[in-house]
Structure 1
Amino acid sequence: MDKFTTLTGVAAPLPMINVDTDMIIPKQFLKTIKRTGLGKHLFDEMRYTQDGAEIPDFVLNKPAYRKAQILVSGENFGCGSSREHAPWALLDFGIRAVIAPSFADIFFNNCFKNGILPIRLPQEQVDQLMEDARKGANATLTVDLERQVIERPDGSTIPFDVEPFRKHCLLNGLDDIGLTLQHAAEIDGYEAQLRQRQPWLIA
Structure 2
Amino acid sequence: MTSKQEQDRSHREGQEYPNIEIGDPREYSYFSREQVSSVLSGFGYGENMMRVHGLYLNTDRSISVGIWNATQEEGHFIEKPVLRGVEQAESIAQTMLASLVLAERMPQGQSVRLTSIDVDYRNAAIPPIELNTIVLLNESENSRAVTCYGEVRCGDSMLSQGFVRGALLDRSISERLLERTARQQSGRTNLFTFKG
Higher strand share: 2
TM-score w.r.t. length of structure 1: 0.23
Question: Which has the bigger relative contact order, CA under 8 A and spacing at least 6?
Answer: 1
Between Structure 1 and Structure 2, the one with more helix by share is: 1
